[in-house]
Each structure stands twice: as structure tokens, then as C-alpha cells.
Amino acid sequence: MSSAAAGTQAKTRNVDAPHPSRPVRPISSTNAGTKSRIQVPAPASSAHSLDAGPETIVVTGLSRTQKLQSAPTSATVFTSRAITDARIQDVSDFIALAPNVSIVEAQQAGVSFMTIRGVTQVRNGQSPVAVIVDGVQQMDSRQFTQDLYDVAQVEVLRGPQGDLWGRNAIGGAIVINSRQPTNQQYAYADAQFGNGSMYRGKVGVAGAIVKDRLFYDLDFSEHYFGGLLENVYLHKTADRTNQYSGRGHIKAVITDDLVADFRVGFNETRGGANYYQYQPAKLDPNNPCFLDLSNPFGGMTPDANHVSRTFCSNNRGLNTRDIRNASFRLAYTKPWGAITNTLGWVKINEYIASDQFPYTAYEGKSGYDGTQSQWSQSTSWEDELRFTSRSDRRFRWVAGGYFLDTRDYFSSATASDYGKGIARISVNPLYNYAANPTQSFLGNSDHNQDFALFGHLSYDILKNLTAEFGYRYDWNAMNQYVSPLSTAGIPAGCTITAGAACQRTRWFKQAQPKGTLSYRVNPNLMFFVDYGIGFRSGQFNQSGSAQAAQLPGVFDTVKPEVAHTIEAGFKSQWFHNRLTVNGSFFRTWDRNSDYFLFVGAVSAQILVNIDKIQLTGGELEARYTILPGLDVFANGGYTHSTITKYGFDRADVGNAAPYVPEFTANAGVQYTRAIAKGLNLFSRFDVEAHGKQYWDPENDTARKEFNLYNLQVGFTGPQRKWSAVFFVKNLTDKAYNAEYVSGGFVQPAEPRTLGGELSYSY
């Protein structure tokens, strides 16, 4: 069980968490004396009772909804109560509380690098997990880093989940379920204020338009952060951000058996970008933000533990990201099971512009520095048809098909810096623009399609022994059109008028089987073992980047990644369910893992394959209710990674894999005490432990292990309808680098943040 869920004491009411494979069966309700079979979902409980029994938690991201303690998978689940207690505001918050899962957020809003059980994500690469929000799978990893609001439950499933969720579930799946509207009108407001001129506001309202038949909810949030990391040359912050997001949802019970969901949403982000430092740059002691031209790169030896929180670039980085998304789901339930069709659409535009390597105040007149920019536009749509049998039978099954279509354009450019700003470049370079003339330009448009068929079988061999088998087969077609305006990598014969010669095509395909065997010794103890194959599709490097880099082993095509994983685990509860202890062990053989290279001279961002990596580790999670209102919790994850084959550089065989922390852990205590009628004192203290982590296959430098301490103190009202909380993250202001890129490119993590939060709901 999640450490974040450690303090959860209230019994869960009937949560209607949407699940694409198992829509909730219409239930009976009494309406004005007339009995009708309609679907009336109950809201997630947010009660804060000091003497309530242990919470019953369910997992919805598997082939059927199951209690967490009966689900044969390694999972951390955060209920609505746990989300509130741990102040989970965005994805990085719950990832920090899940064992063997870590995330790096750097460069820009749409870029994040997740690692789960040693399976990593790199810049310009695909996610190692499938992310499902309210039954709709995210189609682009740039959708992931957004604020969360009105969330009923988050599930982090570790281990390959590709048999049900597809090619990006090579390391696991993250399932996010929102609170469902009901006949009861509901509204909430939340306001936060903190250092760095931070404020965050969230408001929402939900209820029934037509009682028992038509429901709605609307949510809106704004998050502003002025920044805490300073550009001393410009006397402005580098890490500012401002994010607006909103969504609308209509749920219609068309008949007793047919339910429709329609959702729309948007996100607009404006902020800083590329606030990196290049450690080998030697600055002039008499002019500290400028290079020492007598020895410009005679600075320090790259060190992942050397942290500086100031910057010197003469251009303040800019990042804009706009997301629009919509989905439509139909769930048709009959006595034999259910049919669910999910249609999703998303469009993302993102742009960044900043100083170029080596990120100093020079304006290019010395031959160093310059500007760089990237522009991307992506439009995707998906459709999944899923047939699911009833879950109360000895033999259960799931079958379906999936289709994804993605069209995107991506360009990157470098330009001379004359101190007159950065020209916005999208599909056309500006070679003759005097104020900021383009020096290099790489552009390409891609049209990718994924086709998949899948099925899952479950059979109760005995009352307490269950066998499961899932299978999925993916076909991924990739087509790329290289812009003839590029300065490198143009295919032979490719011109503006000869478009056919500018195209290249590749197919990637892979089977993803998974088998599971689970045995329940008694209601409070169960064991499970599984074996599965995960798949992450290959892709194209940006055309011309390999040629521009001129490095051996760098190619325009990145091979597909395949991981074989075997896992064994247990789940247990003791002392009348006051103590929960869950654990698991895994071994993964990963082939063609992605690794990111950056060639600063041409701003080339390149992916290469590490041929083989072996990953061994496990997780242990525990929660203990000492007294009503007093809980202690702890979890830990360990991963030992070894490169066993690497054609790019054989000398790296035997080294640790990049971006894989040796361990992650979280432990703490939460205490709630009634101090007056309807008034509770709430306090929580926890520590996050981050293990040693290498950033490149050469293992040149490792970020040492470190701890972060977090504190909350406040008051809550009856049924937690209102709360007032003071919080501190990174209490000791630990300085560490959020990211290190081979060669000495570093971005520091945020300093200590503190503030207050007021919330009210009715």
C-alpha cells in the first residue's frame, strides 16, 4: 500500500471509478417511490474520522476491478483521502511517494523523464508507462506534466502492462480517475500561496442537470510561480511558469444499459526554458557572466553533485505549450458483460527558445554562444473497442482492438545572437534575418499509426488459485517527411518539388504476452508470480542529427525496445488489518533501451540504443495504524542495473544503466487529533530518500544519494469540508541537480518551497 495512503482511515464509499474494460453495472435506486435500474455513481469519500476502520482500496487498471490486497500486481494506490493528506498537486508529487519510480522535469513544460523499475524515458523518447485518465489513454508524453484537480484515485502499477494497455506500458501503467458527478450538487475551491510569488487556485462544480440521467462537472485551475532561480545577468528569474487548465464533462445515462461520457479540456503553459549551465565553461573573473576567451572551456571537471542556482545567459528562455483534448466513451452493459468504445483526440503545440550552449552572456560576436529554438505540433486520435465478460464468473475474459493515428511536425534551429531577441521559427528557417539569422535548421513531419489486437483470460482453478493470461500484438507504422529546407540529413533527390524522395518509412511490430498465477492463503495473505514481455516502439531521430553529430553508432533510426520481466510478490494484512505489508521482487532483461546524447555545437538531440541491460530489484511497502488518528508508513524500492552489451562503446559493459536510481524510499508519520467539536489538528512529516544515480553509460559522475524532508501542519473542519494547512517542501533547502547531461550540462532543482493552503467544499 502507498505510503501516501498511510493515514487513510475512512471507509471508502462506492467509488464509480471509470474503467474502459469494465463499466460499472447500473444499480438499483429508489426515486420517489419508483424503483429504477440506473447508474448513480457515489462520490469518493473525503471524511476524516478518527475511529473509522481500515480503508478498502480497489485497483481499476487491470482486466477487472479488484481490491488492492487481492490484485496480483505490484501497485501503489492513492485514494482521494491520501491525495489530500499528502498534498498531491501534480504528477511529480505522487511519483515521489511510489517506490522504484522517479521523474526528472527539465528543459520545458512538456519534457519529463520517468524511470520505473530501471526502465527509463529520455528526452524526445516515449514514456515507459501507459497513462490512462478517466478511461482514456494519453497519446503523447507531453500531456503528462499537468496539474491535477478533483482526483478520486491514482494507481501506479509496476511491471509490464502491455497486454492490456499497449506499446508504452513496458514498465507499468498509471491510472488516474476523477471524482464522478452525482445527483448531489458539489462545489469546491482551493487557494495556495507560497514563496517565489507562487499562487495556485482551483475551483469546480458538479451535479445533475436531469436527476438520475444527466450529470456534469466543470473544473478550472491556475498555477503561477514567479521563480526562485535567478539569472544574475538579466536580474530576472529563470524558472518562472504560469499554467491555466480546465475541463468539462457530461455524463448521460441514456438507458439503463447505455452510458455516454463526453469530456473536453485545455491547458496553456507559459514559462522559462533551457536554464542550463555548462560546467566546463570557464568564466572571466573580471566579467563573471562572460567566457574567458583565453581558455573558454578550461573550467571545472563535470560533476553531477556541483550545484549552482544562478544563471548568466543574455536571453531569458521561453516556453509555450498549448493542449486541447476531447474524448467520447460509450459503455453498453448486458447480463453477459459489457462493450466499451473509447474515442480520444488531442492537439499539442509547444515552442521553446533560449540561449545556446554554453549558456553565457556572450552575443555570439566572439564565435561562442548563440540562440536555439524548437517548435512542435502534434495531432493525435485513438479509438479502442473493448469487450469484457462479467467479473463474478469463474472464467472471465477481455478482448478488443486499438488504433492510434498521430501526425506531427518538429523543427529545431540555431541562430547567431546579436542581442536583438530570438526569431520565432516553425517550418521555415530565417537565413537572411539580420537580427537573428538562422545557422542550422532541421525539420520533419511524421505520420505514425499503431494497430493492436488484444485479449485477456482469467480462470479460478480453485477457490483460492487463479491463473491469468493476456496477449497483445502491436503493428506500428512510421512515416517521416524530411524538410528539404534542412541544413543536414536531406535524402538524395529530396527537393520542394520532389516530395516523394523526402520520405522514409519503417514498420515495428511485437507481441506482448503476460501470464500470472495468484494464490490466496487466507483473506489476509496472498502470493503471486507473473512473467510478461513489454514493448516500446522504435522511432526516427530527427533527420540530419546523426550526420551533424558525426559520432559512431548514431543512426537516424532508433531500434524498438523489448523487455522480459519475471516478478514474484506477496500482499498481507495483520493485527485486524491495522498493519499492511506488501512486497515484490523482479528481474528484467531489457533490450535496446534508449539513451540520449546532446551535441552542443549543433544543438543536436539524438537517441541511441543500449543493446542489453539487466535489472534486478524489488519493493516493500508498509503502513501501521498505531492508534486511531496516528499512522506510520514506509516504502522502499531497490534496482540494481547492469549494462551487459553496448555496441556504441564496449568499454561501458558492466556499468550501471543511466537515469536509474539505486533506490527510492519514503517514510513518515501522520497524526490527526480532535481539539474541539468539529475541529481537528492535522500534522504530517515525511522524508524522501533518493539513491545514487548515474546519468550516462560511461558512469563518469553519479549524483550522490540525498534526502528531502517535507512537513505539513494545519486544521481541518467537520468531514474535512474545510482545511487550512501550512506546508514546507525540502525543509532543509537541500541543493541538488534535477538533471545532469553527459558532458557537464546541469539544471538545478527547485530550492525550498513553503506556503499555505485554504480549501472549502460543499
- The pTM of this model reads 0.90
C-alpha dist (Å) from residue 739 to 107, 119, 331, 702, 742:
9, 17, 43, 11, 10
What type of residue is 518?
A: S
Q: Which three cell numbers stand for residue 102?
A: 522517479
Q: Provide the residue type at 426 as one letter.
A: S
> Phi then psi for 59, rounded to 5 degrees?
-115, 125
pLDDT digits over 517-558, tens only? 999 999 999 999 999 999 999 888 877 666 666 566 677 788
**pLDDT at residue number 547:** 64
Give the residue extent of every domain in the chain. 27-761
Residues 6+ apart with CB under 8 A from 453: 400, 401, 402, 472, 473
In angstroms, rounded to a whole number, what is the distance separating the alpha carbons of residues 205 and 422?
42
Q: Cell 522559462 maps to which residue?
A: 272
Those residues of the chain that have pLDDT short of 50 are 1-53
Strand partners, 41: none
Neighbours of 31 (CB within 10 A): 12
Residue entry with cell 487529533? 673
Return all residues near 669 (Cβ < 8 A) that are at least 6 apart: 630, 631, 632, 633, 684, 685, 686
Question: Which residue is associated with the grid cell 486499438?
Answer: 402
- Per DSSP (E only), the strands in 292-370 are 310-311, 318-334, 337-355
Query: Distances in Å between the alpha carbon of 740 and those of 305, 403, 658, 744?
Result: 9, 37, 11, 7
698: left (phi over 0), alpha (psi -120 to 50) or beta: alpha
Q: Report residue 244: phi and psi, to 5°.
A: -115, 140
Q: Label the pairing between strands 230-231 and 310-311.
A: parallel
Residues 6+ apart with CB under 8 A from 294: none
Residue 140: DSSP 8-state: S
Q: CATH for 27-761, among 1.20.1730.10, 2.40.170.20, 3.90.550.10, 3.40.190.80?
A: 2.40.170.20
Would you state the cell numbers that stand for residue 95, as one nine-digit string? 511519483
Cis status of the peptide bond prior to 718, with omega within 30 of 0: no
Residue 546 parent element (H or E): helix 545-549
Cα–Cα distance measured from residue 75 to residue 62, given in angstroms and rounded to the nearest whole number: 11
Q: What letter would DSSP give residue 281? A: P
Strand partners, 250: 216, 262
Residue type for position 510: Q
Residues ≥6 apart with Cβ < 8 Å to 225: 196, 197, 198, 239, 240, 241, 242, 271
CB 62, CB 22: distance < 8 Å? no
Which DSSP symbol is given to 541?
P
In contact, 388 and 331? CB cutoff 8 Å: no
Cβ atoms within 10 A of the Cβ of 229, count? Answer: 20
Name the burial class of residue 500, with classes exposed (0-12), middle (13-18) and buried (19+) by CB atoms within 10 angstroms of its CB. exposed
Quick: pLDDT tens for 333-389. 999 999 999 999 999 999 999 999 899 998 766 677 899 999 999 999 999 999 999
SS3 613: strand
Closest among 624, 669, 617, 620 to 640, alpha carbons compared: 617
CB 160 within 8 A of CB 532: yes
**Helices and strands counted in the chain (H then E):** 4, 47
Per-residue CA distances from 618 to 480, 622, 702 (Å): 40, 14, 22
State residue 254's pLDDT score: 97
Neighbours of 118 (CB within 10 A): 27
- Strands 74-79 and 151-158, how do they pair? antiparallel
Q: Nearest 5°: CA angle at 505, between 503 and 509?
A: 165
Grid cell locating 189: 475551491
For residues 75 and 156, the answer to whether their CB atoms sit within 8 Å is yes
Q: Which three cell numbers stand for residue 742?
A: 553527459
How is residue 743 written as a grid cell?
A: 558532458
Report the candidate in 582, 639, 513 with the shortest Cα–Cα distance to residue 116: 639
* Sequence-distant (≥ 6) Cβ neighbours of residue 195 within 8 angstroms: 228, 752, 753, 754, 755
The torsion angles phi and psi of 685, rounded to 5 degrees, stand at: -135, 130
What's the pLDDT at 319?
A: 95
Q: Using CA atoms, how far apart are residues 750 and 708, in angstroms rounded to an integer?
A: 12
Cβ pair 569, 587 in contact under 8 A: no
Q: Name 481's bridge partners.
A: 445, 503
CA-to-CA distance for 328 and 699, rounded, in angstroms? 47
The secondary structure of 149-199, three-state, reads CCEEEEEEEECCCHHHHCCCCCCEEEEEEECCCCCCCEEEEEEEEECCCEE
Listed residue (170, 119, 116, 112) closest to 144, CA to CA: 112
The Cα 457–Cα 459 span in angstroms is 7
The residue count of the chain comes to 762
